């Protein structure tokens, strides 16, 4: 076949046959995803499944070439799959529009694929896919781009570093709490307030994120005390969640009562323009009928009128309240209802404080830390991903490399490669024992039943966690020796269903390696209520040396390496040297000829054999 001629010559006919039968999963159909799907379809892969939550936006068309103007508002995954099927009609390709973190995509689902490709645009989802691939024991090709920077690596549980073996949290700008909560003066202040304060307090877990606490000195101690009282009062509003009055109660609290309190502080407005109180009843009269309101009809690239912002606030407030009844929410720029709420509340706050308005599209960019992507970077990274995947499926993982696409004046557009590193012995994700726990009935099985089943394991299956254990799901502590409230609650009532991950750790033995159970369903007519599988796949872990300390170095020789931490998020460069982890924004250029040679980019420390110059 024409598409596989070169693959056959380079890797052999046997490899071509493996590619034709391999089932691959592509997570993300955006900038990298479009290029990757095209490359896969033309490289001999026949069975491709693409998943993406997002729909196509006008701004995508400058680099996501599988999409056209007629596709705007349509699901990215389905349009991309249709496009590559037109390239190669022999494909057996599927598309899913969903969040990869949904419980339906459990470890069994991941295990049905031979290899997974990450082409995601946020750290949280990338960490989730990393954990699921470790649990399902499926190799993962990880990637990222930001401007001219890019990277590709291979993650294979027990053999290589995983995504979380070294910290990759992107640097975020923080704002003083008093500025965000009392005296906003720029659109970004309103967006941060809407996203990290109001959304988090009402629908999340109250994480202030980008809001920085200030020292309680004499000038602001009283104001901080009042702000804390406001936060507690806002959390009490959740009692009205699910009622018809919820949107009104929230609106009157933040846009009437709180602003009225600010206006009472006369000294604060001596040199500033005071805000104005917004009237819920008046805006309700001027706005459209809630039953007739369609948020998707609003213009994304035009500023909202105050009536549009009010209607959007009321709609999104009730929509999110209905979802919050079952679980706490996290802001996701690709979640329409979350974005609408942040855009609406930021616009209303801008109206109240006399600040310039921003469109929904602009708010999405500000709240999601989006930066422009470059099509050629995406194309180069996608090509490297396909080459790495062929080596993995050919059982030649020892030949795989971590590749960095970087840019500087000395070696423009160069690819730096390095050998795959062994897992970090202190990694909180891959230094874990992954097992599958199958439950016959989540509505009848209690957390206590699960703990009893684990502690009853004997012989080679004994996990040696001891009598005192802790049970955690995500950021929730479900059980420990001092907290037994949930023992008699069913898994379903705790939100533990198929697809969730449950972590058990010993409270007695610090050396005991924690166990992560991937929850999955079991036939109800099965004789056992709980079945635990996967013991034969648990690797041998080397014992940790006494007083072991985390090693956050990227290279063994302490050289710095360019690391793109997130696609389409604010890029940063990891500068790791002399055992320290430094980080600076990409916008601050790194001079490869700087006097301090410790901070030189890794390009300057690689041999010519390790660098490919792209003309």
Query: Which residues are known catalytic residues?
Result: 178
Count Cβ neighbours within 10 Å for each residue of 580-598 and write b for 16 or more, e otherwise. Answer: eeebeebeeebebeeeeee
Q: Integer distance in angstroms from the first to the last C-alpha of the chain?
A: 30
Instruction: Let me know: does 436 contact 534? Beta carbons within 8 Å.
Output: yes
CB-count exposure of residue 289 (10 Å: 0-12, 13-18, 19+): exposed
Angstrom CA distances, 198 to 66, 165, 203, 343, 422, stand at 37, 33, 8, 12, 42
Neighbours of 493 (CB within 10 A): 13
- Residue 141: helix, strand or coil by DSSP? strand
Nearest 5°: CA angle at 355, between 352 and 359? 100
Cβ contacts of residue 476 below 8 Å, gap of 6+? none
Instruction: Let me know: does 585 contact 571? Beta carbons within 8 Å.
Output: yes
Instruction: Let me know: does 40 contact 48? Beta carbons within 8 Å.
Output: yes
Number of C-alpha atoms within 13 angstroms, CB side, residue 304? 32
Six-digit token string for 608 = 């010519």
Which residue(s) pair with 141 in the sheet?
117, 154
Angstrom CA distances, 397 to 165, 333, 394, stand at 19, 35, 8
Q: Which DSSP category does 55 fall into?
A: B
Instruction: Let me know: does 22 contact 393? Beta carbons within 8 Å.
Output: yes
Six-digit token string for 334 = 């690709």
In order, the DSSP letters of 479-527 are EBTTB-TTTTSBTTTTT--TT-EEEEEESS-TTSPPEEEEEEE--TTSS
């Amino acid at each position: 076949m024409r598409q596989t001629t070169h693959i056959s010559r380079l890797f052999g006919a046997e490899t071509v046959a493996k590619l034709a039968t391999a089932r691959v999963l592509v997570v993300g159909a955006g900038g990298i995803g479009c290029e990757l799907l095209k490359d896969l379809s033309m490289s001999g892969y026949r069975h491709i499944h693409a998943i993406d939550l997002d729909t196509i936006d006008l701004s995508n068309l400058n680099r996501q070439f599988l999409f056209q103007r007629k596709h705007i508002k349509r699901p990215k995954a389905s349009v991309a799959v249709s496009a590559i099927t037109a390239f190669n009609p022999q494909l057996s390709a599927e598309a899913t529009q969903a969040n990869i973190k949904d419980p339906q995509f459990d470890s069994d689902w991941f295990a049905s694929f031979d290899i997974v490709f990450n082409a995601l645009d946020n750290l949280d989802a990338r960490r989730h896919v990393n954990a699921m691939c470790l649990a399902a024991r499926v190799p993962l090709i990880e990637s990222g781009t930001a401007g001219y920077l890019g990277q590709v690596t291979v993650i294979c549980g027990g053999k290589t570093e995983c995504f979380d073996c070294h910290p990759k949290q992107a640097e975020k700008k923080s704002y003083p709490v008093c500025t965000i909560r009392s005296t906003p003066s720029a659109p970004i202040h309103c967006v941060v307030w809407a996203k990290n304060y109001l959304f988090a307090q009402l629908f999340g877990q109250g994480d202030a994120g980008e809001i920085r606490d200030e020292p309680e000195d004499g000038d602001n101690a009283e104001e901080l005390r009042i702000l804390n009282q406001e936060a507690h009062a806002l959390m009490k509003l959740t009692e009205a969640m699910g009622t018809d009055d919820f949107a009104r109660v929230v609106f009157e609290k933040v846009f009437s009562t709180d602003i009225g309190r600010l206006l009472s502080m006369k000294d604060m407005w001596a040199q500033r323009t005071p805000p104005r109180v917004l009237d819920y009843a008046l805006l309700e009269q001027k706005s459209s009928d809630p039953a007739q309101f369609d948020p998707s009809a609003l213009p994304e690239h035009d500023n909202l009128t105050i009536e549009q912002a009010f209607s959007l606030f009321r709609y999104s407030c009730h929509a999110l309240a209905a979802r919050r009844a079952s679980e706490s929410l996290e802001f996701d720029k690709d979640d329409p209802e979350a974005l609408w709420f942040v855009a609406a509340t930021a616009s209303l706050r801008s109206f109240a404080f006399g600040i310039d308005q921003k469109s929904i599209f602009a708010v999405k960019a500000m709240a999601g830390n989006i930066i422009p992507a470059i099509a050629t970077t995406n194309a180069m990274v996608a090509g490297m991903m396909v080459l790495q995947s062929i080596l993995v499926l050919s059982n030649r993982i020892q030949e795989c490399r971590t590749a960095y696409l970087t840019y500087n004046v000395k070696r423009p557009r160069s690819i730096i490669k390095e050998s795959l590193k062994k897992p970090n012995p202190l990694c909180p994700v891959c230094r874990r024992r992954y097992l599958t726990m199958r439950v016959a009935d989540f509505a009848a099985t209690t957390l206590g039943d699960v703990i009893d089943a684990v502690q009853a394991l004997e012989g080679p299956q004994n996990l040696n966690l001891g009598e005192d254990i802790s049970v955690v799901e995500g950021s929730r502590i479900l059980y420990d020796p001092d907290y037994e409230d949930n023992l008699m609650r069913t898994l379903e009532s705790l939100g533990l269903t198929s697809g969730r991950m449950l972590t058990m750790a010993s409270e007695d033995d610090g050396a005991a390696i924690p166990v992560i159970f991937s929850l999955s369903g079991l036939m109800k007519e099965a004789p056992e209520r709980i079945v635990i599988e996967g013991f034969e796949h648990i690797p041998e872990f080397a014992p940790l040396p006494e007083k072991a300390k985390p090693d956050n170095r990227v290279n063994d020789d302490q050289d710095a390496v360019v690391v793109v931490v997130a696609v389409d998020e604010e890029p940063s460069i990891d500068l790791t040297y002399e055992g320290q982890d430094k980080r600076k924004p990409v916008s601050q250029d790194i001079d490869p000829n700087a006097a301090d040679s410790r901070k030189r980019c890794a390009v300057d420390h690689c041999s010519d054999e390790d660098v490919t110059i792209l003309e």
